[in-house]
Amino acid sequence: MEKGNRIMAVDLGTKRIGLAVSDPTLTIAQPLTVLKREGNKKDIPKIIQFIQSYDVNTIVIGIPSSDRDSFMAKSAERFAGQLKEAYNITIDFIDESMTSIESEEIFRMAGIREKKSRQMVDKIAAAKILESYLRQRELKGK
């Protein structure tokens, strides 16, 4: 099966995974969904379903570049390796520093309580990761 033209961003957390997907023209990042973390063996097949449903050809995973030796950085690299093994797809990493904090601030400014916004924060953070990635691609002329 030929892969499509979209890019999907993954905001990998310890409790949830935020997903966002680009439009086919690779200009708009759209928040997609939030998955409850159940471990890589259960999470990866769910993500593969989204990859196939949205005709994704590249995955971008947010990683804290300020501390590449952190638990979350190592976890993201392990996740990427297992995803690549399960489904041969291009995987890139991008600095995700501040994306969750920026997302939380959006909801605070809108007056949405933290408890209600928690689920949305992760997919907004994924969209911010994807926006950064798409902007970098555009600057590089891809």
Model pLDDT, residue 120: 75
> What are the per-10-residue average pLDDT scores of the chain (142 residues)?
78 93 94 95 97 96 75 88 96 75 58 60 88 87 68
Please state the pTM of the whole predicted model.
0.83
Model pLDDT, residue 140: 80
CB environment 116-138: b (16+ within 10 A), e (fewer):
ebeebbbbbbbbbbbbbbbeebe
Model pLDDT, residue 137: 85
Model pLDDT, residue 93: 93
Contact of 102 with 93, CB cutoff 8 Å: no
CB environment 56-89: b (16+ within 10 A), e (fewer):
bebbbbbbbeeeeeeeebeebeebbeebeeebeb
